[in-house]
Chain A
Amino acid sequence: MSESTKPDQFRTSVREWVEGNFPSSLSNYVPSMEDDNDGSFPDLELWRKRLAEKGWGAPTWPTEYGGAGVSHPEAKVISQEINRVGGFNPIPALAGMGVTMVGPTLMEYGTDDQKQRHLPSIASGAVRWCLGLSEPNAGSDLASLNTKAEDKGDHFILNGQKVWTSGAHISQWCGALVRTDPDKKKRDGISFVMLPMDREGVETRLIKLISGASPFCETYFNDARADKIDLLGPLNQGWSVVKRLLQHERQSQTSASSGGTKRESLQDLAKRYVETNADGSIADADLRSRLILHLMDDQAHKLTVGRITAEARGKVEVSAAASILKNSATNVSQTRSELTLELMGSQGIGWEGDDFNEQELSTVREWLWGKAISIYGGSFEVQNNIISKNILGLPETTQKG
């Protein structure tokens, strides 16, 4: 795609395009993962279409699949230039699990036909994907899942229940992990199928979370049909597909230590809420020292992400250090929420109403939502199992998991 080879020229051309195409009406729009492109923001649809035409929804994907075929550093330039004008790229959020997880996995395991049918609509943000993985009795022990898929020749008939399917109620497609051979050992009888959410027998119910939000659903399959042409990867080898899928998930979770770049620093927020000494230091020595520990953890995490990126340059294998990033990101993010509440004092325990400002209320909701970070995508404990077994080479534990 790059019409120029010099990085400065590339940046200039991106800047010109962004300045000319980003609708200024969107500069105060706060995007979120739960955004539903329901037409209430006409300029959002316009911006999505413009980005999609450039292939900038998923810029590193090949052009034939709706990307722009640019390098990772070039993609970074695009995102920097969009951020520079106060803009954002709505496509990854609009595509649900499409851009971050389903797409990269399809690229690796999909047939040509599957790639051509699915990838362009993900890259343009036109189709939202959800994932049916966990079940009520298959959480950390995902391989014990029970949703049954019966072979009917050119299609499967699905029966069972999925849970924690993000955005299922507004998604058009679903990737689901199902049991295709009940007689095989539990990891060996699983397949990964893809089906449209408007099929008969697919039903979703919203789950209300402790934060008050409902980003997740329970999804029921009652004799729902999934076509065989949408089986991803070989039959009964869904476990290796999902392992890749979850690697992509972890990758997308490790950089998010918390919040956007414009967020007020925690020490500045502290100074607004708690007493300080004449020299500007926080008067409460205990609180101050815990704030220091947290900020050091935060910087150590960021430096580690940077080090791993630098070490990975030009290498195929992922460094062992990468395995620690999920838990480290979780620690930083959850501790930040807890500290923020503590700094706000009684202003940090509001649920709704005029007694609390918008920042205080959203801090409380984020704190509650953040409890999920150490549960999803492999819980804190599962991550430690992965490190001790796969990285350190310690033997299988007597406990299963």
Chain B
Amino acid sequence: MAALSEEQSMIRDQAKSWASEQAPVQKFREMRDSGVEQRFATTTWAEMVEMGWTGILVPEEYGGSELGYLTFGVILEELGRQLTASPLFASALVGASAIILAGNDEQKQTLLPKIVDGSEVLTLALEEGSHHQPVKTGLRAEKSQSGFTLSGNKTFVLEGMVATTFIVAARTSGETGDSEGISLFLVAADSEGVDRSAMRTVDSRGYAKIAFNNVNVASGALLGTLDQGLSVLEATLDRARAGIGAEMMGTAAQAFDMTLDYLKTREQFGNVIGSFQALGHRAAGLFSSMELSRSCMEAALQGIDNGDDDIAELASLSKAKMGAFLHEMSNQLIQIHGGIGMTDEFDAGLYLKRARVLEAAFGNQAYHRNRYAALLGF
């Protein structure tokens, strides 16, 4: 439903030229080849902070600009086009959302300004198995004299190697699978008993598994209400799902543009291959899917900005639709490019690999189709 405002269009243009000049896909490739553990370029991240992108969701009283989720999406889309790697999404979207939604005054005061100035990098430590299933949270947090003691393991933690504070979903009562009994905790990454190690994922981005070995936190580390963390966790996740949809759109749109360009230049049988109707119709089909998914993605982000009551439904619609389109588009990127698409030297592989990781993050297509139906009552 979105028609971008003048300000949003300006931000998009700024993000587009910055990403393509300062953080293009070549830079991502260099980072990958260097094997650097933090999995992003320090200067890239510093420039994002400098441009104020870390404060887009944060209220002005905490040093942000509070421009909203659709505006954030406009930037993430441009970064998705170049596969630009940084903690922006993990910290300034997911982390900031959780603090804004659930944080008390002190937590907001302490963390939000530091998210904005880049001195803190927050990330959500949620997953415990190979499939997204928030209600299955099992990492235990037991009440102690001074607060809580956390024990258990988290996996697939985005930017887990560089995060300074983890937002940990833990079970404070009940059993795995219960919707009651989940609580969120803020845990400093340098706390005693936190042990992290890098996970080497196919997309060369920064993921980690984190072991919490009897980690003691003060009672003030509780984010939100004890045992009632699932609803705010889901609300945070819906913002993450909608936001990552914008990044997925950028990655898919770039794959589309690369493919369309190839259709217009590659010649076989004495003609450019885009003149073959089979490929023209395939391109038309991909374009149609792109436009339909874009509408879902933008509607989810705008729904959050408007405070609509169907955010969960829209977020699942968006994540499922974007997942399906990105999946198909990344496959066609390789297929239509033929042999060249199979070579590591060409960028298509980078997009294909990133596509699958984005699809899996915060619930894959199947997860969100099922959730969408459950929300509609069937």
List the interface of chain A (C-beta within 8 A of B): 267, 270-271, 276, 280-282, 288-289, 291-293, 295-297, 299-301, 303-304, 306-307, 310-311, 313, 320-321, 324, 327-328, 381, 383-385, 387-389, 391-399
Contacts and interface: CB of A to CB of B under 8 A. Distances in A.
B264 A394 contact: yes
B372 A300 contact: no
B317 A300 contact: yes
A388 B292 contact: no
Given A271-B378, A281-B378, A304 B281 contact: no
Contacts of A293: 369
Contacts of A271: 378
Interface string B267-280: 00001101111011
Interface residues of B, number: 39
Given A281-B378, A295-B376, A307-B1, A394 B296 contact: no
A390 B280 CA distance: 11
B199 interface: no
A288 B2 contact: no
Contacts of B317: 296, 299-300
Contacts of B364: none
Contact of B274 (A295, A306, A391, A395): A395
Interface of B: 1-3, 260, 263-264, 271-272, 274-277, 279-281, 283-285, 287-288, 291-296, 298-299, 317, 320-321, 369-370, 372-374, 376-378
B260 A392 contact: yes
A311 to B, nearest CB: 5
B328 to A, nearest CB: 13
Contact of A300 (B272, B276, B281, B296): B296
Nearest to B1: A306
Nearest to A280: B377
A300 B295 contact: yes
A399 B277 contact: yes
A401 to B, nearest CB: 8
A267 to B, nearest CB: 4
Contact of A396 (B263, B275, B320): B275
A282 B378 contact: yes
Contacts of A381: 281
Contacts of A301: 292
17 contacts: A292-B370, A295-B376, A296-B320, A296-B369, A297-B292, A300-B292, A307-B1, A307-B295, A307-B299, A328-B288, A383-B284, A385-B280, A387-B284, A387-B288, A388-B281, A394-B260, A397-B280
**Max chain B C-beta neighbours (<10 A), residue from A280, A300, A324, A397:** A300
Contacts of B298: 307
B196 to A, nearest CB: 37
Contact of A281 (B271, B276, B284, B374): B374
Contacts of B274: 388, 394-395
Contacts of B285: 384
A307 B287 contact: no
B43 to A, nearest CB: 36
A276 B370 CA distance: 15
Contacts of A289: 369
A293 to B, nearest CB: 7
Contacts of B271: 395, 398
Contact of B263 (A267, A307, A394, A397): A394
Given A299-B296, A328-B292, A398-B276, A313 B3 contact: yes
**Max chain B C-beta neighbours (<10 A), residue from A271, A321, A328:** A321
**Max chain A C-beta neighbours (<10 A), residue from B260, B280, B291, B370:** B291
A387 B287 contact: yes
**Max chain B C-beta neighbours (<10 A), residue from A270, A291, A292, A297:** A292
Contact of B280 (A282, A296, A389): A389
**Max chain B C-beta neighbours (<10 A), residue from A288, A381, A395, A396:** A395
Contact of B264 (A295, A313, A321, A393): A393
Contacts of B272: 395
Given A291-B378, A394-B283, 13 more contacts: A267-B376, A276-B378, A289-B369, A292-B369, A299-B317, A303-B299, A304-B291, A320-B291, A324-B291, A384-B284, A385-B277, A395-B274, A397-B280
A82 to B, nearest CB: 25
